């Protein structure tokens, strides 16, 4: 359906355009809710809808006061710092363990490969509420519930499947004769790993890390149960805000988070193109 052939009947022409309109509406449905909160976050009033001033594009209708609130309110600031303290450490743990295991899993002869894979992927399959319930029960038993360390471990576990999937996918295209060549020239396994293998699988590792980071950074269900007030993260604070006293500051935070997602998306896209180029495929 790349273009309308000249011999198309009227019915076909109508359908052709109708179909495009339908698709346009669905795309609109996908993107509009995210776009609409951006102007609303600059609302000068404490409303969640467009004021007449905003619709007239009157500068008085807009303000940065919700952003100001975010950057001065101690609750939001504490939440932001908690998020920034938890996510990178969790990411580091999942990437460190995950990359090693992915390399192990990509070896030609791995006993119980399917079973191991199923266990490692399970945090992604099990519904979050069940993971949260189990972790809450178990971590309270061993005294990790309500601690920073507990939340980091829980988030690392949730991020691992993403690292495993992205890194094993990169390793599928990895030419093992390169490591053999390195060994042949006298490099020890550690040098081979860091000088030969790592640079080549780096895009996969980085995108796995991004997935793990965003998993921890966005995660709310598990932290709600495993964490205590001292580990209140940004999504948790938003969740409280949405459930109890909804304040427009949430929209300012949401806009900032959308900006972060755009950056992440762009990074991933660049990485994808790079790895495709490396493999000799044409960039899309």
Partner 1 sequence: MSDATQDGPMLAADGTPLKRSLNRALRRQKLRALMLIAPLLIFVLITFIAPIADMLFRSVENDIVADTLPETVEVLADWDHTASDLPPDAIWPAFYTDMFFAEEKKLHTRLGTRLNYELTGVSSLFRKTGRAVGRFDTDTYTDQFTDLDESWEDPASWVTMMEDDATREALPMTASAWDRWTAYLDTEGDDPAEEDIEDLLFTMLYLDLAAQPPVSGLSERIQQAAAAVPSFETVDLQAQFLDADEDWADPQVWRVIQTYAPRYTPGYFLNAVDMQLTPEGVEMRPDNERIYGILFKRTIFMSVTITLSCILLGYPVAWILANLPMRTANLLMILVLLPFWTSLLVRTSAWKVLLQQQGVINDILVWLRLVDDGNRLIMMNNQFGTIVAMTHILLPFMILPLYSVMQTIPPTYLRAAKSLGATNWTAFWRVYFPQSVPGIGAGSILVFILAIGYYITPEIVGGTTGTFISNRIAYHISSSLNWGLAAALGTILLAVVLLLYWVYDRIVGIDNVKLG
Residues 104-123 that bind partner 1 (CB under 8 A): 104-105, 107-111, 116-123
Residues 177-196 that bind partner 1 (CB under 8 A): none
Least distance (Å) between residue 59 CB and partner 1: 21
The Cα–Cα gap between 273 and 268 comes to 9
Q: Does 207 bind partner 1 (CB under 8 A)?
A: yes
**Nearest approach, Cβ of 72 to partner 1 (angstroms)?**
21
Which CA distances in Å does 44 have to 53, 57, 214, 238, 254?
Answer: 9, 12, 31, 20, 17
CA distance 256 to 163: 25
Q: Which of 66, 136, 201, 203 binds partner 1 (CB under 8 A)?
A: 136
Q: By CB under 8 A, what part of segment 137-176 binds partner 1?
A: 137-139, 141, 153-154, 156-157, 160, 162, 165-166, 168-169
Q: Closest CB to partner 1 among 30 and 185? A: 30
Q: State in angstroms the smallest separation of the CB of 109 from partner 1.
A: 5
Contact 184, 238 (CB under 8 A): no
**50 is a contact residue toward partner 1 (CB under 8 A):** yes
Q: Minimum distance between the CB of residue 136 and partner 1, rounded to whole angstroms?
A: 6
Q: Which is nearer to partner 1, 35 or 181 (CB)?
A: 35
Q: What three-state secondary structure class fits 73?
A: coil
* Alpha-carbon gap, residue 44 to 211, rounded angstroms: 35
Q: At what angle do helices 249-278 and 234-243 cross, to 10 degrees?
A: 140
- Crossing angle of helices 249-278 and 10-40, in 10° steps, is 120
Closest to 204 in 3D by CA, of 234, 178, 169, 241: 169
Nearest-CA neighbor of 217 among 137, 144, 147, 156? Answer: 156
Regarding 128 and contact with partner 1 (CB under 8 A), the answer is: yes
* 198 binding partner 1? (CB under 8 A): no
- Cα angle vertex 41, ends 265, 85, to 5°? 55
Q: Quick check: 135 and 225 in contact, CB under 8 A?
A: yes
Q: How far is the CB of 82 from partner 1 (least distance, A)?
A: 15
Binding-site string for partner 1 from residue 25 to residue 44, where x marks contact by CB under 8 A and - marks none: -xx-xxx-xx-xx--x----
Would you count residue 97 as binding partner 1 (CB under 8 A)? yes
| Footprint on residues 250-269 left by partner 1 (CB under 8 A) | 250-251, 254, 257-258, 261-262, 264-265, 268
Nearest Cα to Cα of residue 274 among 202, 219, 179: 202
Q: Is 235 in the site for partner 1 (CB under 8 A)?
A: yes
Total residues contacting partner 1 by CB under 8 A comes to 95
- SS3 of 135, please? helix
Q: Interaction with partner 1 in 72-91: which residues (CB under 8 A)?
A: none
What is d(CA 253, CA 241) in angstroms, rounded to the nearest whole number?
11
Contact range with partner 1 by CB under 8 A, out of 16-24, 63-71, 180-188, 195-203: 16-24
2 interacts with partner 1 by CB under 8 A: yes
Q: How far is the CB of 133 from partner 1 (least distance, A)?
A: 5
């Amino acid at each position: 359906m790349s273009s309308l052939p000249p011999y198309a009947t009227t019915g076909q022409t109508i359908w052709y355009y109708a179909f495009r309109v339908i698709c346009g509406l669905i795309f609109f449905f996908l993107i509009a809710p995210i776009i609409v909160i951006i102007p609303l976050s600059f609302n000068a009033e404490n409303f969640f809808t467009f004021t007449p001033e905003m619709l007239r594009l009157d500068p008085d209708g807009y303000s940065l006061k919700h952003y100001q609130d975010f950057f001065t309110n101690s609750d939001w600031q504490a939440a932001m710092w908690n998020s920034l303290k938890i996510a990178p450490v969790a990411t580091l743990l999942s990437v460190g363990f995950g990359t090693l295991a992915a390399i192990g899993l990509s070896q030609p002869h791995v006993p119980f490969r399917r079973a191991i894979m199923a266990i490692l992927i399970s945090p992604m399959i099990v519904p979050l509420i069940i993971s949260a319930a189990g972790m809450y029960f178990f971590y309270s038993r061993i005294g990790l519930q309500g601690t920073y360390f507990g939340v980091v471990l829980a988030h690392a576990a949730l991020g691992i499947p993403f690292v495993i999937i992205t890194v094993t996918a990169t390793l599928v295209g990895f030419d093992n004769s390169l490591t053999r060549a390195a060994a042949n020239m006298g490099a020890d396994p550690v040098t081979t790993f860091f000088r030969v293998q790592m640079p080549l699988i780096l895009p996969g590792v980085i995108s796995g890390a991004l997935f793990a980071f965003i998993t921890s950074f966005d995660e709310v269900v598990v932290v709600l149960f495993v964490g205590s007030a001292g580990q209140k993260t940004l999504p948790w604070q938003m969740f409280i805000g949405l459930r109890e006293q909804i304040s427009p500051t949430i929209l300012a935070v949401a806009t900032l988070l959308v900006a972060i997602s755009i950056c992440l998306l762009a990074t991933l896209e660049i990485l994808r193109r790079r790895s495709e180029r490396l493999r000799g495929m044409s960039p899309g």
